[in-house]
Amino acid sequence: MFSIRVEAEFAAAHFLSHYYGKCESLHGHNYRVRLWVRGNDLDEGGMLADFGVLKQALRDVIAGLDHTNLNDIPAFNNDPSAERIALFVFKNLEDLLSRRGIDPAKLRAVDVFETPVNMARYERS
């Protein structure tokens, strides 16, 4: 089984409506997002998937999040947790990868880091 990973970053503001503590106030993060692809079969060039295609797909998905208030995006239901961001990116990548010639079933996980040591992951079960 092969696994590959690409990552990209974006900056955004948010607050958590159903959290009581300092994160209930508007604040920002420099998010790091990692995309994981996994599979058994390599193409004729010996690759699981093209790093460039994966990286551009990830950048395209997170471009709509960059320098925004994430609470303004309806998909986050006014609580843009790292978990919900990971799910959002995963679901949008499935569609985008399919349109770019990569089997979306290879998409295994998306990690969203709010800080260098705190992250949430959404992964295919």
- Tens of pLDDT, residue by residue over 87-120, are 999 999 999 999 998 999 999 999 999 999 999 9
Active-site hit among 9, 27, 67, 123: 67
Mean pLDDT in the chain? 95
Look at residue 4 in the predicted model and tell me its pLDDT. Answer: 97
Active-site hit among 9, 23, 24, 27: 23
Res. 5: pLDDT tops 90: yes
Q: Which of 123, 125, 119 is nearest to 36 (CA)?
A: 123
Residue-number span of the structural domain to which 49 is assigned: 2-123
CATH number at residue 88: 3.30.479.10
Is 23 tagged catalytic? Answer: yes
Q: What is the pTM of this model?
A: 0.94
92 half-sphere exposure, CB direction, 13 A CA radius = 18
* Total tally of structural domains belonging to the chain: 1
CA distance 16 to 22: 9
